[in-house]
């Protein structure tokens, strides 16, 4: 079965425009409810969301659809995506739902589903749900309609759990920490965790109004946090995205470290401690060649997957590995959670600071990245520029040029109408010329 509605991370689009309408959300809720309600025992669903205005609309619509098929719904309110994975499992729910478009602007939204084990649904499960949606949805009898209950302490449960992942003998006293919550789902949870562990916390991006999520802040726009770190002479900065499943780290000088650098640090420490299962890090085709060389020099294996943290997790589960992630800042540690968790990954970084006594700048740039360039081109999905003969010719020439000392990766985004053109090359001049030639060829077509 094929999927048309689902992308690489659930269903996503512009709010109040197909497929992110109340009507589709209600029908999708009914379809996923029917998929999971397979016997007569009581069925539970937990629903979390970020701070977008459209989340209210989608939350109510999903609740209507789910209860119409007999599912009992527990509403968590604004919580990080990893909290939904955690609470789905701990509350013995059949299904978890997160309403969020992650790092996207406020006018987008999305719906992600988690199974009873707290992990995101597989492609096969999403295809089956989509088939139910496109067919006839059997509603339950009136006496079996589900009920909705608001859970007031969902955020608190996540806060308490997150603290348990930090070494018990350690505290953050003496550390001044800037935390940028992107005006998103972790705007209260992240500062609370850091403060309760003893840090001097300087929060930014903690005044959501429904429209300012990821706007000039967060992991995709780190300038504000970097300035704040320097201005306040902070020891480190933590930048989360709108649903807090991504993180970027900023050192005391305002320099940003991406997911590759964070994974390099954690992998090397866990390997040294004998904690890295299979002595393997799982990451995607987007990760830098510099990371690959760094790991190889330490006899740590690297396994690449397609882009998307769900594919990283699938490879981790298949191989029994416990560490993986993406350059974009999704860091997955199955010792602690079922999906990317920006806050818990940041706690691992802070643990390294407290245990080694080293400055953040000494831990954020532990390998030399190979020059990398990424450019995005917006296009209408009904027209595929990669099928154009002139574009294909330019790409073939570029691949030949980079073959000996670099690599080229061109892909469609699974979450936005974008073509992503990424290249790496030891010669920055050749890299820039090559990438620009491809971008110009594509732009002529689109």
User: Catalytic site residues?
Assistant: 102
Bin 200: left if φ > 0, else alpha if -120 < ψ < 50, else beta.
Answer: beta
């Amino acid at each position: 079965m094929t999927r048309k509605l689902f992308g690489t991370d659930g269903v996503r689009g512009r709010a109040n425009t197909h497929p992110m309408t109340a009507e589709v959300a209600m029908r999708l809720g009914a379809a996923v409810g029917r998929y999971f309600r397979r016997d007569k025992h009581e069925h539970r669903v937990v629903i979390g969301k970020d701070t977008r205005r459209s989340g209210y609309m989608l939350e109510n619509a999903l609740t209507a659809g789910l209860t119409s098929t007999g599912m009992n719904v527990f509403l968590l309110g604004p919580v990080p995506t990893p909290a939904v994975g955690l609470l789905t499992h701990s509350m013995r729910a059949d299904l978890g739902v997160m309403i969020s478009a992650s790092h996207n602007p406020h006018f987008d939204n999305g719906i992600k589903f988690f199974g009873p084990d707290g992990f995101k649904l597989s492609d096969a499960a999403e295809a089956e749900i989509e088939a139910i949606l496109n067919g006839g949805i059997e509603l339950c009898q009136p006496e079996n309609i589900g009920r909705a209950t608001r859970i007031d302490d969902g955020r608190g449960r996540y806060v308490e759990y997150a603290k348990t992942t930090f070494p018990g003998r350690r505290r953050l006293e003496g550390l001044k920490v800037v935390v940028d919550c992107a005006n998103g789902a972790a705007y209260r949870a992240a500062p609370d965790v850091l403060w309760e562990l003893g840090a001097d916390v300087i929060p930014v991006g903690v005044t959501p109004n429904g429209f300012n999520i990821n706007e000039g802040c967060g992991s995709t726009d780190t300038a504000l946090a970097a300035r704040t770190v320097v201005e306040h002479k902070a020891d480190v900065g933590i930048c989360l995205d709108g649903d807090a499943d991504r993180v970027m780290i900023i050192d005391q000088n305002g320099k940003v470290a991406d997911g590759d650098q964070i994974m390099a640090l954690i992998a090397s420490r866990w390997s040294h401690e004998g904690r890295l299962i299979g002595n393997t890090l799982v990451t995607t085709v987007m990760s830098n060649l510099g990371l690959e060389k760094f790991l190889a020099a330490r006899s740590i294996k690297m396994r690449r997957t397609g882009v998307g943290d769900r594919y990283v997790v699938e490879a981790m589960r298949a191989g029994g590995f416990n560490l993986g992630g993406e350059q974009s800042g999704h860091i997955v540690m199955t010792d602690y959670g079922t999906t990317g968790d920006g806050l818990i990954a940041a706690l691992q970084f802070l643990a390294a600071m407290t245990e080694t006594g080293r400055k953040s700048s000494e831990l954020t740039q532990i390998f030399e990245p190979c020059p990398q360039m990424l450019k995005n081109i917006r296009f209408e999905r009904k027209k595929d520029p990669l099928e154009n003969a002139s574009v294909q010719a330019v790409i073939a020439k570029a691949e030949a040029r980079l073959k000996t000392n670099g690599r080229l990766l061109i892909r469609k985004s699974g979450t936005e109408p974008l073509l992503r053109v990424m290249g790496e090359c030891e010669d920055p001049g050749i890299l820039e010329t090559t990438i620009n030639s491809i971008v110009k060829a594509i732009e002529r077509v689109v």
